[in-house]
Structure 1
Amino acid sequence: MEIRTIPEDYIINMTKEGHGKVESNFLLHGLKIKNDTDMPVVIHQINLELYAAETFVKQVTYSGKALINTIERFAQECTWLGKGFGAQLFLGKEGFWNPEKFSSTKTLMPDQETGLFNEYFVVINKEMIDLLSVAVLYEKEGKEYRQELSIPLRNYVNKNKYLFPLKGCISTCGNYNCLLDHRQHYSMEFAIDMAQYNKEQKLSFQEEMRKEDYVIYGKEILAIADGEVIDCFHSIPITTSWVWEEREPYFKQYGLAAQFGNYVILQHSNGESSFYGHMIEDSLTVKKGDKVKQGQVIGKVGHTGLSNCPHLHFQLMDRPDILTGRGLPCSFLNIKDVTGEPLERIMDDNIIVHTC
């Protein structure tokens, strides 16, 4: 039995400490279970076992009707994750799963497969969860077997010092605690959307607002650190549709900008890269190959690509590729919360930060 995961090497665990406890918050993007034997196998149970300092803490189990329903639903709903834009955006690669080989039952014939997509975990314990062990219990020729695969969990420490990409009082949303937003995408796991309220603490404050009426529209975007422009796009003029069939034709004309609007990707030192999306058409002040300095203006906040209102989409990655890069959490040197207390990372959804 073959077991594989995305990510393959380790899972990033976002932890909080308080009252003598640790909150572990992490995501397994993909689990693949494939029958690589020459005989049919019957899966009886999938266990996701969590450990802290070699101590067993918790187990999530798929068995019985839950297992049957999960396998059937996976075969019906996840066929789009084999190849193409969707597979890259959500898994960081194509070919992890082969939908033509999906089994819709617990019985996997030779070369058939099944899996789990985007399994979220939030666990309170005395110590952080540092290991996820996947155990598949199955039957072959009347005998029971157990196949295991373990993957470590780690906190991630940035390798560079970063400044916040906008100045002033900024509203942030869509971060990793918003499970239905960016996080389910591979490179966007720790992405943040940034907008701005008016003096009445409203984002949208009049009927049928023009994009120019939003407070943040046209605000200068700053490079978070020294780096090189690896990729950018400057000339898409429109906001594309949320309906894929309507947005798809724009991919032929604008490529990834149909999704991300006008954008800049910067390569920083130590293998970390930053991405800035939805900029105003022709507002970029840089081009591919340019060297930039920390705090340098690289463009202006806009409403292009797949955008529900003017805002900056920001994320950090382990490589300068919006589809194959792995999302990384980002710490900042110069932000405070509404009480004036310094913030290192944005750990909660829908909070306001102030640059300092």
Structure 2
Amino acid sequence: MVTPDTFVEYFNSEKFKEIYDTAFEPFKQNTEESRFVESLQIFHREAGDLHQKYHNKLTMNFNRYFYVNDDETHSLTAAFTDDNEIIGIELYLNEKYDTDDVWTKNEYALPLEEAVVSAGGTDVFHNYHYRTENQRYAYDLTNMVEFYHHNGDPGDLNAYFVFGNDVLAPLDGVVVDVKRDVKDNQIGIVNQDEPSGNYVIIEHENGEYSLLAHLKKDSVKVDVGDSVVTGEIVGQVGNSGATTLPHLHFQVMSDKELNKDSIRIRFKDFESLKQGDRVE
């Protein structure tokens, strides 16, 4: 039987049809068996055998496993239900960047009083931003209770634990840009026209700029030119912009323009953070 622990045995033996047979029915409906098998055959030919490296669980009944080859040039992420049905597989050609060793000159505080890191780190398993240069070291911050993002109707924004939480200035600085009037999305709707949604950008010493994005409509409490201090409330977590669930997008950039490079964040109280970490 294909389970997270035996997945590599089946993969390395090229038993791809057996892996497909383990998949969740909606996955099969969207993925033809022949195309699935062919994709894994090509990937195995290029990558060679795999072994398990990471595992995490960020939501109820949903487990993610990260498998890599010996040289870590290729990787595969598989998502399983608690009943060991495969609900998704992603194939990656791994890339590492010299900028992984370039940290912010400033040290930053977390911009929420408590949070769970839903995306963050220096690999594609922990951080979906990692492949995109202008967001590579960004963090998505949310909050959960026993793997649940909400308590109540999943379509109700106010049921989400993080929605409306205070967003704090991560360091002393001067506000250089704000947006406050973008409507919060209903769950499942994504606003690609204004991907950052409502946001605050703060200029700090050493030519660094923090971005706090996806804020709640009309919650921004600061204006351009305002001086802020670490821990000052600048807005509230929302669901505006290119987001499917309420969360805070936090990154540090080399310029106030939204398309500038992100910089790996040096935190005051943590050596590093990655997906799955809880901060209280």
* TM bin (shorter chain): 0.5 to 0.7
Q: Rg bigger for which structure?
A: 1
Once residues 207 and 300 of structure 1 are traced to their aligned partners in structure 2, the CA distance between those partners, rounded to angstroms, is: 21
How far apart are residue 269 of structure 1 and its match? 0.6
How far apart are residue 240 of structure 1 and its match? 7.9
Once residues 118 and 183 of structure 2 are traced to their aligned partners in structure 1, the CA distance between those partners, rounded to angstroms, is: 25
How far apart are residue 226 of structure 1 and its match? 1.0
Which residue number corresponds to residue 328 of structure 1?
263
Once residues 333 and 298 of structure 1 are traced to their aligned partners in structure 2, the CA distance between those partners, rounded to angstroms, is: 19
Which residue number corresponds to residue 31 of structure 1?
none
How far does the alpha carbon of each residue in 1:25-63 deviate from its partner, in whole angstroms, 9 at most, with x for none?
xxxxxxxxxxxxxxxxxxxxxxxxxxxxxxxxx8x8xxx
| 203 and 227 in structure 1: CA distance in 2 versus 1, 3 angstrom threshold | same
Which amino acid in the other structure matches residue 164 of structure 1? L
| 211 and 161 in structure 1: CA distance in 2 versus 1, 3 angstrom threshold | same
How far apart are residue 154 of structure 1 and its match? 6.5
| 183 and 192 in structure 1: CA distance in 2 versus 1, 3 angstrom threshold | same
Question: Are 1:173 and 2:108 an aligned pair?
Answer: no
Confirm or deny: 8 A CA contact 1:229 1:286 kept in the other structure. Answer: yes
Confirm or deny: 8 A CA contact 2:187 2:245 kept in the other structure. Answer: no
Q: What secondary structure sits across from 2:95 in the alignment? A: strand
Q: What secondary structure sits across from 2:94 in the alignment? A: strand
How far apart are residue 225 of structure 1 and its match? 0.7
Matched ranges for 1:54-203 at <5 A: 120-121=94-95, 155-168=101-114, 170-176=115-121, 177-179=123-125, 181-198=128-145, 200-203=146-149
Which residue number corresponds to residue 299 of structure 1?
235
Which amino acid in the other structure matches residue 307 of structure 1? T
Once residues 156 and 265 of structure 2 are traced to their aligned partners in structure 1, the CA distance between those partners, rounded to angstroms, is: 32
Once residues 208 and 220 of structure 1 are traced to their aligned partners in structure 2, the CA distance between those partners, rounded to angstroms, is: 21
Which amino acid in the other structure matches residue 183 of structure 1? Y
* Alignment TM-score, normalising by the size of structure 1: 0.48
Which amino acid in the other structure matches residue 128 of structure 2? D
Q: What secondary structure sits across from 2:104 in the alignment? A: coil
How far apart are residue 273 of structure 1 and its match? 0.9
Once residues 152 and 227 of structure 2 are traced to their aligned partners in structure 1, the CA distance between those partners, rounded to angstroms, is: 41
2:163 to 190, 198, 217: 217
> As a proportion of its length, which structure holds more strand?
1
Alignment: residue pair count = 190
Question: Are 1:290 and 2:216 an aligned pair?
Answer: no
How far does the alpha carbon of each residue in 1:196-252 deviate from its partner, in whole angstroms, 9 at most, with x for none?
113x44213444341111111111111111111111100011328988xx856xx3x
Confirm or deny: 8 A CA contact 1:241 1:247 kept in the other structure. Answer: no
Confirm or deny: 8 A CA contact 1:240 1:307 kept in the other structure. Answer: no
Confirm or deny: 8 A CA contact 2:117 2:277 kept in the other structure. Answer: yes
Once residues 179 and 198 of structure 2 are traced to their aligned partners in structure 1, the CA distance between those partners, rounded to angstroms, is: 5
Structure 1's consecutive aligned runs of 4 or more residues displaced over 4 angstroms after TM superposition are 240-243
* Alignment TM-score, normalising by the size of structure 2: 0.61
Matched ranges for 1:243-258 at <5 A: 247=191, 251=193, 258=194
How far does the alpha carbon of each residue in 1:297-340 deviate from its partner, in whole angstroms, 9 at most, with x for none?
100011111111111111111111111x1111112223xxxxxx
Once residues 240 and 213 of structure 1 are traced to their aligned partners in structure 2, the CA distance between those partners, rounded to angstroms, is: 12
Confirm or deny: 8 A CA contact 1:241 1:306 kept in the other structure. Answer: no
Which amino acid in the other structure matches residue 265 of structure 2? C
Confirm or deny: 8 A CA contact 1:191 1:314 kept in the other structure. Answer: yes
Counting aligned pairs with the same residue, the percent is 26
Gaps of 5+ in 2: 1-70, 74-91
How far does the alpha carbon of each residue in 1:335-355 deviate from its partner, in whole angstroms, 9 at most, with x for none?
xxxxxxxx3211x3222122x
Which residue number corresponds to residue 349 of structure 1?
275
Which amino acid in the other structure matches residue 121 of structure 1? E
Gaps of 5+ in 1: 1-57, 61-117, 123-131, 133-151, 252-257, 335-342
| 331 and 241 in structure 1: CA distance in 2 versus 1, 3 angstrom threshold | same
1:311 to 231, 247, 270: 247
Once residues 294 and 279 of structure 1 are traced to their aligned partners in structure 2, the CA distance between those partners, rounded to angstroms, is: 18
